[in-house]
Amino acid sequence: MPRNKVKLALIENESDRKVSYKKREKGFFKKAHKLRTLCDAEIAAVIDSPYNNEPTVFPNYDVAINTFVKF
Amino acid sequence: MPRNKVKLALIENESDRKVSYKKREKGFFKKAHKLRTLCDAEIAAVIDSPYNNEPTVFPNYDVAINTFVKF
DNA sequence: TTCTCTATATTTAGGAC
DNA sequence: GGTCCTAAATATAGAGA
């Protein structure tokens, strides 16, 4: 976004995509954490990507299971 | 954040909290959507809050199930 | 409540090391 | 690969209707 706008489509260049992924993953979990803390919300999230060996879970396995079971 | 910084703690006033929740829920799903589209990532998320009757699922039930099963 | 507005906090693309 | 930087895009607190 800064320096240049980015169109909402797959980033073709693989190393650019990985760099973007790492930044956005961090931002995403930060937003999740704030939403959870500031407001009174339970949040569970899983991201599965080529850039992590294992799926990444927010905030942790147990809370995620408990939250997912609800829907 | 704009107008004023906000400290990372539960927003005490309930109507302020609800207003903030609604804005942040929207932003959160938008970030999830961009991360999924720009980078090559599967994302599943569930939010359970006092402000929605049902837990809200991203991006939809089937994808969420498939993603959650992986971890 | 639920919308709009907008000033300001936050995120991030593109670099340089 | 991972820092750190910084300009510019984006998200949002607070206000007002």
Per-residue pLDDT tens for A9-31?
A: 999 999 999 999 999 999 999 99
Protein CA at B27 to nucleotide C1' at D12, angstroms: 9
pLDDT of residue A70: 87
Which parts of chain A are beta strand (E)? 42-48, 56-58
Confidence tier at A71 by pLDDT (50, 70, 90): confident
Instruction: Express as a percent the part of chain B with pLDDT over 90.
Output: 87
Which parts of A28-70 are beta strand (E)? 42-48, 56-58
Is the CB of A27 less than 7 A from some atom of nucleic acid strand C? Answer: yes
What distance, in Å, lies between the first and last C-alpha atoms of chain B? 34
Is the CB of B41 less than 7 A from some atom of nucleic acid strand C? Answer: no
Q: Give the best residue of A18, A53, A71 to mutate against chain B (max B CB count within 10 A).
A: A71
Q: Tell me if residue B46 falls in helix, strand or coil.
A: strand
Residue type at A56 in one-letter notation: T
**Domain extents for chain B?**
14-68
Residues in CB range of B35: below 8 A, 6 or more apart: A21, A24, A25, A28, A47, B41, B43
- The domain A14-68 having CATH identifier 3.40.1810.10: the answer here is yes
Per-residue pLDDT tens for A26-66?
A: 999 999 999 999 999 999 999 999 999 999 999 999 999 99
B1 pLDDT more than 80 = no
Among candidates A27, A38, A47 on the partner chain, residue whose Cβ is nearest the Cβ of B6: A38
Q: What is the pTM of this model?
A: 0.95
